[in-house]
């Protein structure tokens, strides 16, 4: 696990698995409030979060945020059991409609890799957040922006005073855009949803000093904007040429080509 300070009020912790991130943000001005956004994956990483926060002299997070409902983003309660988990209303609806899905996915993952955890995942009482909207942190606010296309639910979090964007599973420099499945109503517009999310994020990326993607290294603003432009070009080519769409540079491995085949099937 690696921890990097992006701002005096923002620490990003990167898991050894999936290059997944947990972003710790405290209120500006030394106020006694902090949030943890998303989560690392391994049990020892989750156990180290609280000591890391204390060592950094951040307050213990009393609130958790998950950018969306995929199991690897909702493990925060395993690190901060007393904190309340907040999610977009769309994510709360997803978790309610798929009761126990995150826990089952985590259990299967742990069984496949022979991972032992001290206790099972419990999401507890989940707070539904209006998105688009704002969430108070001390006297400041976090901006919550809709982020769909990878999944049918989700949000990105803009930490305005620190100029940090936590993008959820978007803007990764190491993996292709991963289109979600059609929803229960059979909608086939997941590609349009993804492109709309990238369009909404563009102004935030342009203003950002740092962007935290779902997976892969944190990026400075110009690097994140290049990834965004590559993702838009790829998705437009996917619509026009399907399987023949050109993949972005540095994302042409065999694994990424398999993800591309999945995107073709979903489109």
pLDDT digits (tens, 9 = 90+) for 80-128: 999 999 999 999 999 999 889 999 999 999 999 999 999 999 998 899 9
Segment 227-236 long-range contacts (CB within 8 Å, at least 24 positions apart)? 227/171, 227/172, 227/173, 228/171, 228/198, 228/201, 228/202, 231/170, 231/171, 231/176, 231/177, 231/198, 232/195, 232/198, 234/176, 234/177, 235/177, 235/191, 235/194, 235/195, 235/198, 236/195
pLDDT of 184: 46
pLDDT of 238: 97
Distances (CA, A) of 150 to 40, 105, 179: 19, 18, 5
Question: Which pLDDT band holds residue 183 (cuts at 50, 70, 90)?
Answer: low
> Domains in the chain, please, with CATH?
2-266 (3.60.15.10)
Pick from 164, 177, 155: nearest CA to 7 = 164
Distances (CA, A) of 44 to 102, 153, 254: 19, 29, 31
What is the chain's mean pLDDT, rounded?
94
pLDDT of 29: 84
- For residue 234, give every residue at least 6 positions away whose Cβ sits within 8 Å of its Cβ, in sequence order, or none: 176, 177, 245, 246, 247, 248
Would you say residue 182 has pLDDT above 80?
no
């Amino acid at each position: 696990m690696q921890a990097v300070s992006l701002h005096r009020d923002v620490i990003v912790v990167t898991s050894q698995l999936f290059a997944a991130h947990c972003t710790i943000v405290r209120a500006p001005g030394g106020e006694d409030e902090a949030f943890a956004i998303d989560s690392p994956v391994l049990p020892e990483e989750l156990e180290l979060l609280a000591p890391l926060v204390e060592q950094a002299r951040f307050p213990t997070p009393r609130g958790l945020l998950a950018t969306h409902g995929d199991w690897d983003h909702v493990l925060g309660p395993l690190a901060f059991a007393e904190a309340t988990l907040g999610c977009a209303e769309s994510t709360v609806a997803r978790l309610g409609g798929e009761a126990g899905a995150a826990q089952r996915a985590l259990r299967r993952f742990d069984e496949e890799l022979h991972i032992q955890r001290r206790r099972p995942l419990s999401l507890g009482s989940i707070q539904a957040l209006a998105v688009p909207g704002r969430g108070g942190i001390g006297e400041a606010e976090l901006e919550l922006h809709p982020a769909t296309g990878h999944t049918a639910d989700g949000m990105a979090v803009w930490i305005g005073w620190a100029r940090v964007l936590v993008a959820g599973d978007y803007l990764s420099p190491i993996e292709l855009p991963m289109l979600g499945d059609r929803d229960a109503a059979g909608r086939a517009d997941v590609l349009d949803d993804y492109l709309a999310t990238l369009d909404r994020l563009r102004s935030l990326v342009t203003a950002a000093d740092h962007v935290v993607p779902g997976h892969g290294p944190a990026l400075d603003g110009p690097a994140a904007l290049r990834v965004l432009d590559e993702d838009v070009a790829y998705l437009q080519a996917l619509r026009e040429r399907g399987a023949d769409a050109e993949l972005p540079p540095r994302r042409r491995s065999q694994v990424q080509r398999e993800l591309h085949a999945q995107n073709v099937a979903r489109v």
